[in-house]
Amino acid sequence: MTQKTFVMVKPDGVKRKLIGEVVSRFERKGLTLVAAKFLWLTDPQAQAHYAEHAEKPFFAELVEMITSGPVLAMVWEGDDAIALARLLIGKTAHLDAAPGTIRGDFATSTRSNIVHGADGIASAQREIALFFPEQAQRYDA
């Protein structure tokens, strides 16, 4: 089923010059890049992006990390794009991320884990609407 998903190369990935590596992995998997923008998130944008974590003790650290430098925000499209993106990205905790995944190959800590990816249909829709309102359209699971 064709879906859109949201992926972001975080400031640590940008700083380490891993944008090309991330993009090429998604392209080689057969996904299509339909929108991208290079930006530096403001505190309000970061807080909106991580809104589901607002009550958690690590929320301030997430906001601080994602606003520490520029990011590459992207929308990818393809069959089962959300699940495929999650497979390519790997688990959040760097020690749990399998070799061959982006995080398994490049993350240096759970905080500095290179890339963010929407974890489901609802988050993909919300994140795409937040950064790319012109791309926001619904795909059923």
Which of 49, 53, 94, 116 is catalytic? The answer is 116
CA-CA-CA-CA torsion for 9, 14, 16, 18, nearest 10 degrees? 50
User: Could you identify the residue written with the tokens 């884990």?
Assistant: 113
Q: Catalytic: 116? A: yes
**Could you tell me which residues come within 8 angstroms of residue 112 by beta carbon, excluding any fewer than 6 positions away?**
10, 12, 65, 94
What are the distances in angstroms from CA 83 to CA 7, 26, 77? 12, 12, 11
Sign of CA dihedral 83, 59, 51, 126: negative
What are the residues facing 33 on neighbouring strands?
76
Catalytically active residues are 116
